[in-house]
Amino acid sequence: MDEKIERPNIGVTPGSPIYVGERNPMETALSLIGYDPSQAWLKSADTVDELLAFKNPQGITWININGLKDSAAITRLAEYYGIHPLTVEDILDTGQRPKVEEFDNYLFFILKDLHIREENELVFEQISLVLMENTVITFQEVAGDPFSGIRRRILNNGGRVRKMGADYLAYGLVDSVVDAYFLVLDDLGDKIENFEDRAMDEKDEAFMPDIQKIKQELLKIRRIVWPLRESLSLLPRLSPAFIHEELGPFIKDLHDNVIQVAETVETYRELIAGVIEVNLSAVSNRMNQVMKVLTIISTLFIPLTFIVGVYGMNFIYMPELQYPYAYPLTWGGMILIALGMLLFFKHRRWF
């Protein structure tokens, strides 16, 4: 157990992250980063009480919770920071829509992180974020590190994050989630281009199941992007105690990025609809060709069937039955009729 201290006097030089403790906090369920313009430090913990012992009263504190299974620990952390019980319910309920809510002492964000697993499966993860005056708390649905870029910038004093307040940190975290949307959309765009090549292949039986899967994924992305777009548009109107005026240009840029994501999703959905129409047209055209051939064959056999039916009647007094050349003449007549019909169809360009 690490010794409890108020604020470790540890500086960080570029390229040299500092871990207070023996483990990498990025691999644990509970981690904390404290920083100010002059230094930064990173701490892992096994329990909430151990984590809360590390405070950063003179700078910014970022607490990250990996996984939501330990509801008791989350409730304990919420009580310590004065987070409303309804907010805790929203954090634990991973089916929430993206939104932004303002409380007396904090802003509450719900986001949906997107990433692609090695099995080429699109995964949706809920991320909750609580922004206070000098503290940011993030709650991740599953263990992972989608904020690795932000961590590196803090620890290596890259960019402006160490020079700005907690609202800029919250902006950076939300921006990293939105940036992941573009990576996912790039991958989906490549798949859609592949579907355009597959659309004319009538023998591709996996085409429709595969493209329907992409269509459903785009619908899910649309359902999380549009609420986020609406929520971010509300940020400039919220209390200046949480969102400072100098953050305005960054919020506008973030909102523009989300609008771009939303427009890209709509464009991809239209492309998918167009590709499906092309495939259906190709299948319909192929079916028409098959039906045309079958119709021609059936039409050829109509007069032949009539002739065979007439001479298949069991009447004794049929003069043609006694004629020596009746059989070959009948065959010859049927062949001439079939050839004549084929020439007629060819002349009319029916095949």
Q: Give residue 144's pLDDT.
A: 67
Of residues 326 and 98, the one with the higher pLDDT is 98
Tell me the mean pLDDT in the region 54-82: 86
User: What pLDDT, in 10s, does the model give residues 264-300?
Assistant: 999 999 999 988 888 888 888 888 888 888 888 888 8
pLDDT over 90 (residue 48): no
Indicate if the alpha-carbon torsion angle 234, 238, 242, 246 is positive or negative.
positive
Q: Give residue 210's pLDDT.
A: 87
Q: What is the mean pLDDT of the chain?
A: 83
> Helix 326-347 vs helix 248-311: angle between axes, to the nearest 10 degrees?
150
199 falls in which pLDDT band (50, 70, 90)?
confident
CA contacts within 13 A on the Cβ side of 186? 6
Segment among 214-228, 235-249, 333-347 with least mean pLDDT: 235-249
Phi-psi region of 27 (alpha: psi -120 to 50; beta: other; left: phi over 0): alpha
184 close to 114: Cβ distance less than 8 angstroms? yes
Percent of the chain topping pLDDT 90: 27
What letter represents residue 283's amino acid?
V
Q: Give residue 22's pLDDT.
A: 36
Residue linked to tokens 């939300």: 174
CATH node for 19-280: 3.30.460.20
159 close to 37: Cβ distance less than 8 angstroms? no
Output the CA angle 328-330-331, nearest 5 degrees: 65
Tell me the mean pLDDT in the region 312-322: 78
Nearest to 123 by CA among 100, 99, 146, 93: 146
110 close to 98: Cβ distance less than 8 angstroms? yes
pLDDT over 50 (residue 18): no
Contacts of 197 (CB under 8 A, 6+ apart): none
Instruction: Indicate where the chain has its CATH 1.20.58.340 domain(s).
Output: 281-347
Instruction: Indicate where the chain has its CATH 3.30.460.20 domain(s).
Output: 19-280
**Cα 136 to the chain's mean position, in Å?**
26
CATH node for 281-347: 1.20.58.340
pLDDT over 80 (residue 5): no
pLDDT over 60 (residue 28): no
- CA 318 – CA 190 distance, rounded (Å): 73
Segment among 75-84, 86-95, 186-195, 238-247 with least mean pLDDT: 238-247
Of residues 68 and 84, the one with the higher pLDDT is 84
User: What pLDDT, in 10s, does the model give residues 139-198?
Assistant: 998 766 778 888 889 988 878 888 888 999 999 999 999 999 999 999 998 888 888 878
Reduced to 3 states (helix: H, G, I; strand: E, B; else coil), residue 347 is helix
